[in-house]
Amino acid sequence: MKATPVKRAFKYRFSPTDAQAAELLRTFGCVRKVYNMALAARTEAWTRQQRVNYNATSAMLTAWKKTEDLAYLNHVSSVPLQQCLRHLQAAFSNFFAKRARYPRFKSRRKSRASAEYTSSAFRFRDGRLYLAKMSEPLDILWSRPLPQGARPSTVTVSRDSAGRWFVSMLCEDASVKPLPPADAAVGIDAGLHHLVTLSTGEKISNPRHERRDRSRLAKAQRALSRRSRGNGTNRAKARRKVARIHAQIADRRRDALHKLTTRLVRENQTLVIEDLTVRNMVKNSSLARAISDAAWSELRTMLEYKCAWYGRNLVAVDRWFPSSRLCSDCGALQGRMPLSVRTWTCACGTTHDRDVNAAKNLLAAGLAVSVCGAGVRPQRETSRTGQSATKQKPSQREP
C-alpha cells in the first residue's frame, strides 16, 4: 500500500551557546511583545465593532518598527514576528468557529517561550541547522534521525520553564504507512482507579505519576514560597527546581500514554471512546488533581492522530450515553447508581463489573455509529424534571 506523506514534528533538545541563548531570548521577548500589542489592537477594534485581520496587524508591525520606542524589533529576525501574527489570526479563527476561547495575552513567566522560523529564516544542511541572525549551527542532541531525505518546512525553537531548550522540525514523513487491517474492535472506558478499562475485560492501571513525586514537589514548592518575591537569584533557582519536577512528571506521563495508545492502535481496527468534557470535569475541586494527572485529553489526542496515520477508525460516543448503568447483556437500564457500587447484578441475573460493562456498552454503541453513519449519536434521556437522567454529573464521575 502506497503511503501518503504526513506532516510530522520531530522534537530534539539542544544546548545553545551564550550568544545563541541571548539572541533567542531577545527573539522570544519581541515575539511576545508583538503578539500582545496585536491582540490589544484587535480587542480594541472589537469593542468598536471594527474588523482587524492579519494584513492589518502586519501593516501595524511595519509602523511599530519605525517608532523610536519599538526600534529594537528590527534587531531580531522578522519571520518569527510575522509568524506570531499568523498564530494570532488562527486563534481568532478558532474563537469565531467556537473551537476555542478568546485569545489571551502572553505572560513572560507563565506562557511558553517560543519562536517559529519558516524556510526563509533557517538553513538545514548536512545535519546542521542554522537560524537567522546566527553564524553557528545549533548543538542538537539527535536522539533519533529525521526521515531519509526529509527537509524541514518550519522550525520552532522553545524554552520550557525548567530551562530546557528544544527545537521542533516539521517534516513530511513518508515512512508512516497504514497498518494491515485488523479484525478486533475495542471499547475504552477512561477512569481514575484504572487509567482505561477495555471491553475485553483488561484493566490498565493508572501510574499516578504526580502522586509518586507529590512529597518531593511539595517540598520544592515550600522552599519556593519562602523565597522573597522579585527577581532574586535564589527565587529563580527555587522556581526552576519546581519546574524540573513538573517536567519530569509530564515526560513520564507522556511516555506511558504513547506506549499505551500505540499498542491499542496496532491491535484494533476500531476504537471507541467516550466524548468526555474534561474542561468541565476538572472544575470539581476534589477530583481535579487526579483527572489532570490521568491526562484524558492527551490520551484522546494521541488516539486521534495515530488512528489517522495508520488507517484505524476512532469513534467518540456521546457523553450522555448511560454506559455504566446499561446492562450489556439484556439492555435494561438501571436506576441511579452511586460511585461506591463497583459491581452490580441486573434483573436478568448477570453480574457486571461497572467499568468493564461500560466499555462493552461503548463498543456496542460505537459499532452502531459506524454502521449507521458518523452523524448518529446516542441521545440523552431526559427525566420529567427536564434534567438529564442518563449521565451522572462530572462531580460524580466514576474513578
- What per-residue confidence (pLDDT) applies to 116? 97
Q: What contacts 197, CB < 8 A, 6 or more positions away? A: 188, 189, 191, 203, 204, 355, 356, 358, 359
> What are the domain boundaries of the chain?
6-173, 185-207+244-372
Which residue, among 125, 147, 151, 129, has the nearest Cα to 139 in the 3D structure? 129
Spatial distance between the Cα atoms of 201 and 353, rounded to a whole number of angstroms: 9
Lowest mean pLDDT among 61-75, 123-137, 366-380: 366-380
pLDDT digits (tens, 9 = 90+) for 300-355: 999 999 999 999 999 998 888 888 888 888 888 888 877 777 887 888 888 888 88
pLDDT of residue 69: 94
Structure-model confidence comparison of residues 299 and 280, the more confident one: 299
C-alpha to C-alpha distances, 381 to 27, 188, 317, 387, nearest whole angstrom: 54, 22, 15, 9
Residue 373, all three cell numbers: 453513519
Confidence of residue 371 (pLDDT cuts 50, 70, 90): low
Least trusted range by pLDDT, from 5-19, 172-186, 223-237, 373-387: 373-387
Residues serving a catalytic function are 189, 274, 355
In angstroms, the first-to-last Cα distance of the chain is 42
pTM, full prediction: 0.82
Mean pLDDT, all residues of the chain: 87
> 9-62, pLDDT tens digit by residue?
999 999 999 999 999 999 999 999 999 999 999 999 988 888 899 999 999 999
Q: Are 187 and 199 in contact (CB under 8 A)?
A: yes
CA 148 from chain centre, in angstroms, equals 28
* Surface-to-core class of residue 4, CB atoms within 10 Å of its CB (0-12 exposed, 13-18 middle, 19+ buried): exposed
Q: Which of 41-45, 359-363, 370-374 has the lowest mean pLDDT?
A: 370-374
> What is the number of alpha carbons within 13 Å of residue 26 lying toward its C-beta?
16
pLDDT band at 264 (very low <50, low <70, confident <90, very high): very high
Which string of DSSP letters, residue by residue, matches 179-219? PPP-S-EEEEEE-SSEEEEETTS-EEEP--HHHHTHHHHHH
3.30.1490, 3.30.420, 3.10.290, 2.60.40: which CATH number matches 185-207+244-372? Answer: 3.30.420
Which of 18, 40, 329, 366 is CA-nearest to residue 187?
366
pLDDT at position 65 over 60: yes
Average pLDDT for 100-116: 90
